[in-house]
């Protein structure tokens, strides 16, 4: 019981920290700036949808990856994001994806595309739902928020995306990714 309480307290603290950080970023940054050559610094960025062009941020970050990309996705139906991950893999970036079990029966899921491109895809059966929306790039860039990797997140839903360049925070997310990966099953669609 003590062990569970400790982890629950850490999760509550982490959630509170993310809320404070997101608020600070919201206050400090201009909203929904489209990605451009002038806006490619590694400063925190925030984006809100619908119509905030958050996918442009995600695609730019994936295109800039040099070594590794780790993805945790609850809903993943965006062909643009899947294609960017596939392109990154083809240029030598180590890409791996964990998705919620619901994606195995989701009509518009991109799992077949990722599988056909031979990207390692893992199904997370850990919990009622694996509700993560995380991309970790080169062990220091972190993309997270409520933004699902879907067309609806871009054009219909009220979503948020926070992009940070913080190796220590990214390390915590990598450790969580590795924990979920250890308990996940490799997708077998071949």
Please identify every residue annotated as catalytic.
Answer: 131, 133, 138
Q: Parallel, antiparallel, or unpaired for β 45-49 and 159-165? A: antiparallel
Largest CA distance in the chain: 52
Rounded Cα gap, residues 104 and 12, in angstroms: 30
Burial of 67: CB neighbours in 10 Å, binned 0-12, 13-18, 19+: exposed
For the record, the structure tokens of 189 come out as 């669609």
Residue 81 structure tokens: 């994001």
Q: Are 149 and 75 in contact, with CB atoms under 8 Å apart?
A: yes
């Amino acid at each position: 019981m003590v062990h569970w309480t400790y982890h629950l307290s850490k999760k509550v603290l982490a959630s509170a920290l993310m809320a404070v950080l997101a608020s600070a970023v919201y206050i400090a940054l201009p909203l929904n700036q489209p990605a451009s050559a002038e806006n490619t610094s590694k400063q925190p960025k925030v984006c809100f949808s619908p119509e905030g062009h958050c996918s442009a941020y995600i695609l730019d970050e994936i295109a800039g990856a040099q070594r590794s990309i780790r993805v945790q996705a609850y809903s993943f139906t965006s062909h643009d994001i899947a294609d960017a991950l596939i392109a990154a893999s083809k240029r030598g970036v180590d890409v791996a994806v964990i998705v919620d079990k619901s994606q195995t029966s989701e009509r518009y899921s991109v799992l077949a595309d990722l599988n056909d491109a031979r990207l390692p895809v893992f199904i997370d059966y850990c919990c009622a739902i694996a509700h993560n929306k995380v991309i970790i790039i080169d062990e220091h860039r972190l993309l997270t928020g409520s933004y699902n990797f879907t067309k609806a997140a871009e054009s219909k839903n009220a979503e948020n995306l926070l992009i940070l360049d913080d190796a220590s925070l990214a390390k915590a997310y990598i450790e969580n990714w590795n924990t979920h990966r250890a308990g996940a099953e490799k997708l077998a669609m071949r």
